[in-house]
Every structure is written in C-alpha cells, then in structure tokens.
Structure 1
Amino acid sequence: MILERRWYIVQTYSGYENSVKIALERRIESMQMEEFIYQVMIPEEIRQERKADGTIKEKLVKIFPGYVFVEMVVNDDSWFIVRNTPGVTGFLGSSGGGTKPVPLPPDEIIPILKKCGLMEVPKLDIETGEKVRVIGGAFRDQIGTVDAIDQEKQEVTVLVDMFGRQTPVELSFEDIEKL
C-alpha cells in the first residue's frame, strides 16, 4: 500500500510555532524520517502598518497563529514523531484517542502555498476587454469577453452569451485561453 504525501495542520501553544518548527525539523533529521516528513511550514505574510508618526512599517505576521503545517505521509512512526514533539498539542482534525489526523483538501492548501510563495502563481497575459475561449468547466468552447481579473484568487470574470444575454461567469486562470 502506497501512502500519499499530504498537508496536515499541527496545533501548538500560541507563540511557540517557530520553536516547534525547529524542534520538528531536528527530530526529522535525527530519526531519519526525511522520506515520510517532507516540509514544515509556518504560513506568514508581510503586512504594512502605519505608525503614529505616519511612517509605514512592514511586519511579518503569522496567518494562522498557533498552527504549523506539515507535509508528510502519515504512518505510525511519522505520526508519533510529530505529535510527541515538544510544544505540539495535537493535530487539527484528529479527535484524539489514537485516531489519525485528517489531511487538508487541495482546494484549501493550494491558496495558502501560493500566498507563502511555495507554489508558483501563474501570471495571466490577458487584460479586461479581450476575447477568450473557455477551455474547462461547464462553459467549455464558449467565447467570451474578460470583464474582471482577480490576481489574488486566480480568477477571471468572463461575459459569455447565454440565451442571447451577456452573463458573467467566474473561471480560474486555467480554464481560459487567449484568442
């Protein structure tokens, strides 16, 4: 049986995320678990704060305080190593009593990985007003006009002709191509 590597959320004491990450990385190396535990990540982003004197300061802020994300294959050994790391209080989605944790679904982890720069964000070379062909989803092979572009969500709003009317449809970048 081949187990799949997936992302899991580990709960920590608030403020101990960095020490848990360091301790977990040391345990992975010392116990030769690199083939089961791949990455340990603390999702962070840069936020701008305006100080009282009017200057703007950039600050690195944890997106999910009290949580560390771990990409791993869950087996008895890898699960034991992670949950017994000092500062770890448990897995999110595990009801305790020896139950294995529930992995994050891809539609939830992919935006987090993109935001943290661990996953390539595709650039769209299309501007509003341009004609595109829909290549995926229910509107496949429809021709439409780009009405709006949301870079953060990786979505475009395309006006397609439905029953003689221009209808806005939200699609991902991968579902359209430039004409």
Structure 2
Amino acid sequence: MAKHWYVLHTYSGYENKVMNDLEHRVEAYGLQDAVVDVQAPGEMVTEVKKRGEKDVTSTKEVKFYPGYVLVRMELDDNTWSVVRNTPGVTGFLGVNGKPSPLRREEFNKMMRRSGGKTDAAAVKRVTTDVEVGQSIHVLSGPLADFDGIVSEVNAESGKIKVMLTIFGRETPVELTLDQISVKD
C-alpha cells in the first residue's frame, strides 16, 4: 500500500505534544512501517526587547501551520484508529469525514514555505545591534548598494528607517534588518 501525507487537525499549541504522543503510540502498536513520518513545521524565533537599560532575550517556537500536524502513512482502519484516537487530535482534514491525502504539489509548497526543514531551525528575527546615527549599506531589494544613515529603529518589528540619498535628495526608506549591514 502507498504512503501519503495527511493533515491532522489538533488543538492549537499542542502540535509538539501530539507529535510525541503519536510517535509513542505508533511504536507501542508496532506500526513503524505504516506511519513513517510526523511533522509540524516551524521555526525558532528569538526576540530581543529593551527593558530599561537591559536587553531581554526570549526564544519561542512558531509553527507555520498552528493547529495542524502532517503525517506520512499508509491509511487503513488500524492506522486511522491509532492516529485518530491520539490525545489532542481532533480529526483528519478531508471530505465527509474521509481523510484526503495531500497532493505532491501541496506538500512541496508547504515544505518550501518552511525552507524544506523538517524540524524547528533557529532563526534570529530581531536584533538590536543597529543604532540611530549609524551608517549602513543596503544588501538586497530595489535599493541594493545604496548607503544611508539610520534615523529610527523599531526592534520589535525588526525594521529600521534609513535616510538614503536618491537623485540628490534625502529620502526616508523603511527596511528590514536582514536587508542591511552596518558599516564600520
């Protein structure tokens, strides 16, 4: 029997618990050959917030598809029952109560969104190493290779406002932190 990817609906925030519980149930029922992969694509996000004089750093996992878990399996009555009765699973995505497998294109699109990663990879989204008045160089986007001066920093959104000289005039431009590098 062919193995296909199916989407499980879970309680939001319980994706990791459902993944762990499902893996243990599959092992306990000896279904490792039928249920071969369980994923909940996401990324680790590090936030840096200023609290007075100190920077407070917190890291949390953000799921790309909150409330959903992907399972690659052979669907039969036995595997359906084991998966469906896993604590935290509210059902399969499908039509009229019948699980529908993901098409290959759908699965590939979902994996591309997560960068093809199967587990949470660390991504630093917000940094505070950029300060007002610093010189920067634009690395990407339509304004690549321009130089400017930082006029505003919004660490929570990960964006800065930069004054660039375009056609001889100072122009304020909003950029993300990954689009710039700080000049020495």
State the TM bucket, normalised to the shorter chain: 0.5 to 0.7
Trace 1:1-179 onto structure 2 (pairs within 5 A).
Answer: 3-47=1-45, 49=47, 51-52=49-50, 59-96=60-97, 100-114=98-112, 115-118=115-118
Q: Is the 8 A contact 2:41 2:117 kept in 1?
A: no
Alignment coverage as a number of residue pairs: 114
Q: Is the 8 A contact 1:7 1:104 kept in 2?
A: yes
Which has the higher relative contact order, 1 or 2, with Cα contacts under 8 A spaced 6 or more apart?
2
Sequence identity (%): 42
Deviation (angstroms), 1:60: 2.6
SS at 1:103 equivalent: coil
- CA-based RMSD of the aligned residues comes to 2.3
Deviation (angstroms), 1:13: 1.1
Deviation (angstroms), 1:103: 0.8
TM-score (norm: length of structure 1): 0.56
SS at 1:60 equivalent: strand
TM-score (norm: length of structure 2): 0.55
Deviation (angstroms), 1:109: 0.9
Deviation (angstroms), 1:4: 1.5
Change (3 A) 1:52 1:94: farther
Which of the two has higher C-alpha Rg?
2
SS at 1:85 equivalent: coil
SS at 1:51 equivalent: strand
2:15 is matched by which residue type in structure 1? E
Segments of 5+ residues of structure 2 without an aligned counterpart are: 119-184
Change (3 A) 1:71 1:11: same
SS at 2:99 equivalent: coil
Deviations 1:97-121 (A, max 9, x none): xxx3001111111133342424xxx
**In structure 2, what is the Cα distance between the partners aligned to 1:4 and 1:47?**
36
Change (3 A) 1:60 1:15: closer
Deviations 1:59-80 (A, max 9, x none): 4311111111101111111111
**In structure 2, what is the Cα distance between the partners aligned to 1:16 and 1:60?**
12
**In structure 1, what is the Cα distance between the partners aligned to 2:18 and 2:32?**
17
Match of 2:125 in 1: none
1:74 is matched by which residue type in structure 2? L
Change (3 A) 1:23 1:74: same
Q: Is the 8 A contact 2:15 2:68 kept in 1?
A: yes
